[in-house]
Structure 1
């Protein structure tokens, strides 16, 4: 099978590029695949496709650009040239741009590929029905929110025209099926990127690193974490370093620079900037815990799965998709009230002062992470493509018999 994947891809800074990297890494090890065609925003000579493991051929075609109005034509041209046997879209609603028209046009692609008769799966990492438009940086204007929701509903209908739409959280299946009256939604969990050997769970050195990881400024804001750690330092006299790993959310450029300036007198406050793929393990392994300073959620958390794979204790708000993941996939953490400094300080302190509890949480999260490796997730996608082909063949057979009769 020649599988095309439409996605952002490292070193792209567009969202979901890291997820694509790990999809490709594990897809290529399945013998069913003869070639992976990356239809991406990254130039072929820059794409990070030098994997240590053996696997199928990878072809990279730079076929779209962020905020381009011609992505539909350029991607479909690449599809016609490469002639894939199946196509997977790695999507969220702002995947093709943060300009409304460019973003919307890109989301027409699953429908167009389905119409060409190519077995098509759209992996949808979030759904508009579960996005807090104000917290996510779209708009706080109530009239505009209604307009956005209408547009989101329309675009969701286009995406649902794919043969199958994969979502990573069970609640999304229920919402989409009930609202849109469709039966082509499949639950395929997020999966864990890497499964390292089980860690020792012991923090090295005298400094405990309290780390957060992501794109910040909208519903992920670090001020509450900085202030909470300051409280814990005073209470416990522990040697704590605050590590903010990542960049600004594209909707709030300059956010972290403002935070740096406002908290320049806070000691042991580290901003790493963008973390290259090869440096991600180091960031997690050196941390004593991972904090999620979120006020809302917009989908399954890749950071939670990464924290679990490195056996880390986590501190997170008890809300939305994070709560669902904890219940469904077995992750454990210390919870706090969103945007509440005192509540977050209490949660962090419990893990700081109790090494045994920190280890207990880390072990539970490692076990949860190892239950869903990416090798299992990619096989689920291939099984789904096979089911699409079987269903298409049966449909054609029925139509043929109908004509014959």
Structure 2
């Protein structure tokens, strides 16, 4: 079906970014990288079908419809497919998160952490295709289950409690009150998380925050997702240089809830992220959906115990100290604007990447870094570019990082200009 309207002109783009200036300051690299790193494993995917006959709307009206949507209750089956061009990291997840595989994290636990720790599971979900079951009943009750062969991993938020349970290892992770927030990437360090991510809406909101006059926004026909009639909203860069090709959001015609999110790279090929409902019901889920008690014999790790000194960068001791760089990576300098934005950060200690030889990186993690690295030189000195199909990062030998949804050449140019 042909698009309903031409691309937005500069004045319309100005309307679209009204009220989003603070978020847009961080632009696409931060928005996309943050979503990919923090929530990519907890949201869904499915192909669309059909061309429903819906009333014509403008892109501005559709964006406003998304903003006004207030879906508090839903349940359904979802799927997520992620193809960043990375090697499979399922077996390395424990190494990155500070622990081993499920078996290694069992028993006494020691310093290995918990197999049910959400940070470990997020690493496993950063590639491939995964099936999830989701449910939500307002801001106080959500559940996301990752369905695997003969096993299931679930995160349940019910009031002041956040539980994560891994049936394969029979381990559970529990956070209560303020302790729950530290396990939700992207949230603050105080208070409970508002809700667990469970639909493509959070992806769509992040993409819309980056809309500015470098962006084309238009309605491009209709589709049917999970049996629901939906509009297709297309967001894409106007200028070259970004690794982002286009973002397509299927928006439910009745509720304004995003049902599907697809991000395709400028290089073509399969989507980097394809996330959407396979089945959805906007009715109230049964109250017992959010009940959880650890099965008999379950090893339970409490969040406050897991976050003891030395367990992560926020603890005390040599690796948790300010000297190790607690603040630097959270305060990026933004170079450029829009889809060509690049974040400049500093590594702790003003040095380049640690290596397996120094004992700071697990061998499996070092193999992954080596497989992605591409040595480069410039006025800034020398460094390594790590590439995916979407996000590229240049790590210089003097401890600076340049990252964005841009090409390798753009990163080298930014480093030279900042030198």
Using the size of structure 1 for normalisation, the TM-score is: 0.23
Q: Name the structure with the higher strand share.
A: 2
Higher relative contact order at CA 8 Å, sep ≥6: structure 1 or structure 2?
2
Between Structure 1 and Structure 2, the one with more helix by share is 1
